[in-house]
Amino acid sequence: MSLRKLLAYLVLIFALSWSLQFAVIARVGDLESPDAAPWLLATMSVPALVTLAFVLLDKSLRPAFAWKPAWRMLPLMLVAVLIPTLIAFGVVAVVEATGWGASGWFDFGQSGVTISGGPWVLGKGAQAWPLFLANVAATGGAFAVMNGLVAMGEEAGWRGLLQGQLIDRLGTARGIVLLGLIWSFWHLPSLLAGYNFPQHPVLGALVIFPIELVAMSFFLGWLTLKSGSFWAAAVAHGAGNSIEEGVVSNLHLTVPQLYEDLLRMGFTVLFGLVFWALLRRRSNSSTSA
């Protein structure tokens, strides 16, 4: 894709997406309201729709569109669900260990866990650790796939096409960093309106979220490059929007919300560094070969 076409691609995605975000802010106001959901779903579909339009109109882009499923992506689906789940329970563990709050869903004990809230596939109530872990795995996987179908609207564009274009121009690390920043600022109108960070929207929109999404982009980028398609990244994105968000958002805090937001960012950065290292090693191996 030429630079001119790449810029046109991004301008079109941002123009359509921001227009929808400004419209829902003006019409609905509260982005957490059920009335906002159709608008937000439409916004999430924009990157995929623009990508499909470009791929259909330009045959030279079709080989660069990383969409084809492959058997090798199936084990990566487990990793796609595991990392957001570990981030979620890592945040819960630190919050409870430091006395910053407690989970509204779980009461942890030596012999097991009592689940009092949330939609869990294997039910609620007192569960021994093996059953609880199986419950988390089953629930996390189910909701990751369901939400991944929605996240596909973003990932077909971000990881399916744009990632490869940016890596070709800038190299793996710089390309993924830029992709993470683009992905973050694509959310800007909603974030500044209080979505995700209602208590500190400017700090969230301009600092916390960009750092998180750059770090997460190394994870999703690794999944995409390893599998050859965006499907595993869509499932990971879905896991972040479902089990990770659900578990973390149901913490009852005794400290300001900023503590939780920074803690979640810290765990995300930690995993981002792991996958940055894996990508760097992969890049070095490819170069030496």
Given this model, what pLDDT does residue 281 score? Answer: 85
Q: What are phi and psi of 107, to 5 degrees?
A: -120, 105
Kindly report the average pLDDT of the chain as a whole number.
94
CA–CA–CA angle 154, 155, 157 (5° rounding): 75
Given this model, what pLDDT does residue 71 score? Answer: 81
Given this model, what pLDDT does residue 285 score? Answer: 64
d(CA 181, CA 64): 21
Given this model, what pLDDT does residue 282 score? Answer: 74
Given this model, what pLDDT does residue 123 score? Answer: 94
Q: Comparing C-alpha atoms, which of 25, 40, 132 is closest to residue 85?
A: 132
Contact 132, 139 (CB under 8 A): no
Tens-place pLDDT, residues 229-269:
999 999 999 999 999 999 999 999 999 999 999 999 999 99
* Low-confidence stretches of the chain (pLDDT beneath 70): 283, 285-289
Q: Comparing C-alpha atoms, which of 238, 217, 220, 239 is closest to residue 229?
A: 220
